[in-house]
Amino acid sequence: MRQTFLVASFVVFAFGSTASAQTPKPPFTAKDAVEGKRLADLSLDLREQITTAKGPTDAFKIMGNLYFVGVQNGEVYLLTSPQGHILFGVGFADTAELVQKNIEALGFKMTDIKAILLNHAHGDQSGAAAWFRQKTGAQVMTGFAEVQFLEHGGVLPGGIPRPANGPPAPPPGPPNRLQRINAQFAGTQQYPPVKVDRALFDGDVINVGPLKVTAYLSPGHSPSPASWLYTVRDGGKDYRVLEYCCWEYPDDITSNAYITESGVRHNLELFRKLLPVDIYLETGANGWSGILNQPSGTMTERMEKLRTQNKYFVNREIFKALSAAREVEIEEKLAKAKAAQK
């Protein structure tokens, strides 16, 4: 009797999961989606190990003329040229000097930074923007719908808050894993306001000397987060680099002020447009291809390894797999929301 019950349960479970699972559309495969889910889970596991997000860490070369210059959470990258540099992200309001130290330790001058590209208006990414704009004299650029938040220090006049980072407050009870992780970012929502010099729209190109970066907007994590696509050359080879922002959406993607089904469908198309991606970066170091591509190790061990073995950054399957998994997740959320409306 007991055995029959177990077998019956298994059949129901197996049937249930097959019936509800979505398959991503080409060029993504079901196998990509399974691998992407594994990578997304690994990324969250590693993110939980970053307990001092604002802590200092040494800068290093990612590939070619691209450098990591941020803090333990990631956040800041520098793309250099003899005619001027581009800074991606600036980090928290109170880690500005750590980032400056990292840039100068590599031998680069703050005043050679000509453009500061902010992918969205959250404080971990943009908190030090006013400080860096003043110190470097660089032009600040961001997705058009982030501008008002940046120019008012994260909160619009009238007290309209910038979009929440991730799921809304949970009902009474223990917070979920993402909410526990995000608790580290409490108090960073407001920061010194910064004047934005250029509002970016989907497909806009930013040029500094020979550097060329294309901005792609994907609403969800905030109103118009920008992802950055560009090429770096190393050892006679070109690598397509993408810093994507950001996967983390509110749980209900149909009744949030900053996200709509049509916006999300634009993002699903965007994932395909960005392929292939050789080197994949996120704002958080835990999501880098170089971190996820290693067979084992803690977050600290993996970061250490990248300083001497940047080959781990190169893997075209990582962004493809993550995109496939996110498409499945998003389609499931949309289907669930539609079913609830009936």
Which residues contact Zn ion (rule: CB under 5 A)? Answer: 122, 165
Which is closer to Zn ion, CB of 80 or CB of 188? 188
Q: What is the 3-state secondary structure (H, E, C) of 109-132?
A: CHHHEEEEEECCCCHHHHCCHHHH
Minimum Å gap between C-beta 190 and Zn ion is 14
Minimum Å gap between C-beta 66 and Zn ion is 22
Contacts of 180 (CB under 8 A, 6+ apart): 48
Which is closer to Zn ion, CB of 57 or CB of 73? 73
Which is closer to Zn ion, CB of 122 or CB of 302? 122
First to last CA, the chain: 39
Taking residue 186's Cβ as centre, other Cβ atoms within 10 Å add up to 8
Which is closer to Zn ion, CB of 85 or CB of 122? 122
Look up residue 101 and give its two tokens: 């130290």
Minimum Å gap between C-beta 221 and Zn ion is 6
Bridge partners, residue 225, by sequence: none
Contacts of 206 (CB under 8 A, 6+ apart): 86, 115, 117, 141, 200, 212, 213, 214, 215
Bridge partners, residue 231, by sequence: 240
Minimum Å gap between C-beta 301 and Zn ion is 26
Minimum Å gap between C-beta 3 and Zn ion is 50
Which is closer to Zn ion, CB of 122 or CB of 320? 122
Per DSSP, the chain holds a count of helices (H) and strands (E) of: 11, 12
Minimum Å gap between C-beta 6 and Zn ion is 44
Spatial contact of 83 and 41, defined as CB atoms under 8 Å apart: no
Amino acid, res. 76: V
Q: Closest-CB residue for Zn ion?
A: 122
Q: What is the CA radius of gyration of the chain?
A: 20
Minimum Å gap between C-beta 10 and Zn ion is 40
Which is closer to Zn ion, CB of 24 or CB of 250? 250
Which is closer to Zn ion, CB of 122 or CB of 326? 122
